Chains A and B, each alone.
Chain A
Amino acid sequence: MIDGGEIKVTTPLSLEFRERASAGDRLLITGRLVTARDQAHRRLVEALEKGERLPLELKGEIIYYAGPTPAPPGKAAGSVGPTTSSRMDPYTPRLAAEGIAACIGKGPRSPEAKRALAENGVLYLVGIGGAAALLGSRVRALRLLAYEDLGPEAVYELEVEDFPVLVAYDLKGGDVFAHLARW
């Protein structure tokens, strides 16, 4: 699929789409992403474990592991590329069980996180780490959703247009990082 061009897709990502997607597919996402990285994950999972109400609805969302730079004057957003996904692995099974549709990060995941994603119908997508100015330029609007005190680690809603990602783990066992498991 990689040389077959990009697949344009609009959020929310339906289960039907997620089941059809294959590792290596290049997507251009238009719609809504929700950022959460280390500290937001910690708070969300703590709240779930205490049975508290979450400051946002997780079901059907695409969680983007990212902490943006502040927007320069006149721009919708600053730079916002993916951060290392494996740091979110301990929290991933809990969020996957809440019914998120996909998550976007960079790099391979732990076997536990990978299994939890597949079992809950969650696609794992990767952006190109460090391509943050390019990815930020595809953000049309950015709004604070929760945990303002965390600054760049707060939860933001991003409205994106043609946001380029690659399907890293599909729901059929496909894995673009399979070549890393040789050692």
Chain B
Amino acid sequence: MGGWRVLELSRITEAVEELAVKASLELPPDVEKALAKARERESSPRGRYALDMILENAEVARREGLPLCQDTGMFHLYVDLGEGVALPSGFRSAVDEGMRRATRRVPLRSSMVDFPLGERRNRGDNTPVHVHVGRGGPEGGARLTLLAKGGGSENATRLFMLLPGEGEGGVRRAVLETVRAKGAQACPPLVVCAGAGGDAEEALELALRGLLRPVGERHPREPLARLEEELLEEVNATGIGAAGLGGDTTALDVHLEEAPTHIACLPVGVVLGCHALRRSTLLL
């Protein structure tokens, strides 16, 4: 069983630093394109005002090297390992070191605090990065994706422990209830993600992972792809609009994910991604 490749600690640190810098300063092309398309279609003057400013912001951030949002986020690293690849011991420390370097370099705001129930003392370096390790990377390598999630949209997250029989209708209600209750405060236009199945933890994990899928890409399974399109229409019909100011553009997309679950359960996690959907990917 020889021939395993163990990723190098120094490469991991460098990769996380690069990913955090890029994600913080540059809107992914799929997101920027979707925003520009929404601006063309928007019929509300206030919605156009918000979308114009969001698009101009992306230009200023890129040109001036300023973070897209002052809330530079909580960071998630997705590591998809390929066949024959292993992580070294000390992996998490190497990831956090990359985060520390990016925080100093841009510089990013430090948004992570210790002692959440009381003192809420700022940690000063945006660590720890939440690490999600999975399979499915390129053979002999790994795909690293960094996601920055702002606190405003994080506060909109909801978990619904539905009855199994509630099915598609239950998911629809969960999504719309979350968007109506919290959408205006989560910096719309949103990317609305729902994870159905697994257990409570996995449902939320699936929903968050929905933010990694490119905007405009449909779920490969037809019933979910159709539900995504229907929900996108319904979310936009709420009229919440960009920045909550009213208009046609409440969401850029809806992404649904699913996983096997228990016979007694239908957990549904709903995560709202803000318009500054910051993610960046590289291969090691």
Interface residues of A (CB under 8 A from B): 2-3, 24, 26, 39, 66-70, 72, 75, 78-81, 83-84, 86, 106-108, 126, 128-134, 136-137, 150-153, 164, 166, 176-177, 179-180, 183
A78, B184: Cβ atoms under 8 Å?
Answer: no
Closest to A182 in B: B239
Closest to B245 in A: A176
A131, B53: Cβ atoms under 8 Å?
Answer: yes
Closest to A177 in B: B244
B53: which A residues are within 8 A, CB to CB? 128, 131, 134, 164
Stretch at the interface among B8-16, B78-86, B102-110, B166-174: B102-110
Beyond A39-B120, A131-B57, A150-B122, whether A137 also contacts B64 by CB under 8 A is yes
Mask of B52-69 contacts with A, CB within 8 angstroms, 1/0: 011011001100111111
B43: which A residues are within 8 A, CB to CB? none
Complex CA–CA separation, A83 to B275 (angstroms): 14
- Extra 13 A-B pairs, beta carbons < 8 Å, given A3-B45, A128-B243, A150-B122: A2-B45, A67-B70, A67-B109, A69-B70, A70-B107, A84-B185, A86-B185, A108-B244, A130-B57, A130-B69, A133-B60, A152-B111, A179-B241
B122, A84: Cβ atoms under 8 Å?
Answer: no
Chain B interface size range: 35 or more
A79, B245: Cβ atoms under 8 Å?
Answer: no
B107, A78: Cβ atoms under 8 Å?
Answer: yes
| Cβ-neighbour of A69 out of B108, B180, B243, B275 (below 8 A) | B108
Complex CA–CA separation, A86 to B155 (angstroms): 12
Residue B195 interfacial (CB < 8 Å): no
| Cβ-neighbour of B61 out of A26, A79, A128 (below 8 A) | A79
Closest to A71 in B: B107
| Cβ-neighbour of A106 out of B65, B187, B239 (below 8 A) | B187
Task: Count A-B pairs with CB separation below 8 Å.
Answer: 143
List CB contacts (< 8 Å) of B123-148 with chain A: 124
Residue B276 interfacial (CB < 8 Å): yes
A24: which B residues are within 8 A, CB to CB? 46
B109, A129: Cβ atoms under 8 Å?
Answer: no
A68, B109: Cβ atoms under 8 Å?
Answer: yes
CB distance from B59 to the nearest CB of A (A): 8
A70: which B residues are within 8 A, CB to CB? 107, 109
B109, A72: Cβ atoms under 8 Å?
Answer: no
| Cβ-neighbour of B274 out of A66, A130, A150 (below 8 A) | A130
Closest to A38 in B: B120
CB distance from A15 to the nearest CB of B (A): 26
A131, B56: Cβ atoms under 8 Å?
Answer: yes
A133, B109: Cβ atoms under 8 Å?
Answer: no
A134, B122: Cβ atoms under 8 Å?
Answer: no
Beyond A2-B49, A68-B109, A183-B180, whether A130 also contacts B276 by CB under 8 A is yes
| Cβ-neighbour of B185 out of A75, A106, A133, A134 (below 8 A) | A106
Complex CA–CA separation, A51 to B70 (angstroms): 33
B56: which A residues are within 8 A, CB to CB? 131, 134
| Cβ-neighbour of B71 out of A2, A83, A177 (below 8 A) | A83
Mask of B97-117 contacts with A, CB within 8 angstroms, 1/0: 000000000111111000000
The 6 tightest CB contacts between A and B, nearest first, are A133-B61, A133-B66, A107-B185, A131-B57, A69-B109, A132-B70
